[in-house]
Amino acid sequence: MQDKPPISSTWQTPSNLAIVKYWGKKGIQEPVNPSISFSLSEATTTTRISASPNKRGGFSFRLEGKKAPEFHSKIEKFFDLVRSRLPIINHYHLDIASSNTFPHSSGIASSASAMSALAFCLADLQRQANDKYHYDITDVSSMARLGSGSAARSVYGGWNLWGRLPEIPESSEYYAVPAPTQIAPVFRSIHDDILIVSSSAKPVSSTSGHGLMEEHPYREGRIAQANENTIKLIKHLKTGNLEGFIEICESEALSLHGLMMSSTPSYTLLRPASLTLINEIRHYREKTGIPVSFTMDAGPNVHLLYPDEFAEEVLIWEKEQLQPLCEKERIIRDRIGTGPKKVIETN
């Protein structure tokens, strides 16, 4: 029998920013609570996989053009979780080349965009290798989730929900779905300026943080809070209620860090500059009435959020008051984006 020809696939996928935070897992990468995020426009990963038939499978991985063996075990673990759905992993050698638009140490989680890009490429290659294989976007989301939980939400543009809520029949623990509502214009153009407080590696990984939720004394309270915030946030996204949005957004960020500070062992990822930035943002909002707000992921960097219509005045204040507080005055300016793109290869 003649060997099958080599095949390839390239995808560009976004990172995302959660407003209601996923914190704590159960089963195989299922969230203990629902989360809502929006996909970013500028922070993306582009991954190309070229696949050649090979009885032993196998893969190579390059990041920004360089061999990156430190990621092999993560990729292997991911492959083990999805190989029953994607036999291509067993029958082809995969040359994976990835690059990010944002620096590796920028404090933006690259795992969401990296894992969703891998999942898109693999599903596409599986379809090329076997035209009986069909997949839809929820299949890609559920595979991306197995690589990194938050990656489940990086398969769409705009606002997305991951995690089961009885009130929302289409919601699921296994995959993300687009936020089940019309989104008011003010939230369709939201900015996310990432104020870099530190680009050093985190002293405690998100994986360990999720693990500490298992025995956390506030576990049940946190799950109830996230469920409630998710339902409320969906309403605010629909009605354009900025005040309601800000309340949930900031409380979620501080609750996430509060959970870290109250786990056993306890820890904090906040730095003095994180708190100074938060206070500056709240002060500016009180003083001017401009609806700026903040959130944080599991790290010390502060995400400054604001609607597009205030971009001009926010930028002036940001440069004057916030930029000097950032590490090497670094700010990464991003905003809501339209989602993954298949990159058409030209030879």
Cβ closest to ligand PMV, residue 50 vs residue 110:
110
Instruction: Please tell me whether residue 110 binds ligand PMV under the rule CB under 6 A.
Output: no
Site map 271..310 versus ligand PMV, x via CB under 6 A? --------------------------xx------------
Among 44, 100, 148, 263, binds ligand PMV (CB under 6 A): 148
Question: Which CB atom, from 48 or from 210, has the smaller least distance to ligand PMV?
Answer: 210
Q: Is 24 helix (H, G, I), strand (E, B) or coil?
A: coil
Q: Which residue, 202 or 282, is less far from ligand PMV as judged by CB?
A: 202
Question: Cβ distance 182 to 298 under 8 Å?
Answer: no
DSSP tally for the chain: helices H, then strands E: 10, 14
CB of 150 to ligand PMV, least distance (A): 3
**230 with 36: CB under 8 angstroms?**
yes
Using CB atoms within 10 Å of the CB of residue 169, give its burial: 0 to 12 exposed, 13 to 18 middle, 19+ buried.
exposed
Q: Which stretch binds ligand PMV (CB under 6 A): 46-54, 88-96, 144-152, 221-229?
A: 144-152
| 149 contacts ligand PMV (rule: CB under 6 A) | yes
Contacts of 52 (CB under 8 A, 6+ apart): 6, 92, 93, 95
Q: Which one of 88-96, 145-153, 165-173, 331-339 is the stretch in contact with ligand PMV (CB under 6 A)?
A: 145-153
Strand partners, 90: none
Q: How far apart are CA 96 and CA 76, in angstroms?
A: 13
Query: Does 229 help bind ligand PMV (rule: CB under 6 A)?
Result: no
Using DSSP, state whether 46 is helix, strand or coil. Answer: strand
The Cβ-side half-sphere exposure at 56, using a 13 Å CA radius, reads 2
With CB under 6 A as the contact rule, the residue among 111, 142, 172, 241 that binds ligand PMV is 111
Residues 236 and 243: their CA atoms lie apart, in Å, by 9
| Residue 340 in the binding site for ligand PMV (CB under 6 A) | no
Residues that bind ligand PMV (CB under 6 A): 18, 21-22, 35, 109, 111, 148-150, 206, 210, 256, 297-298
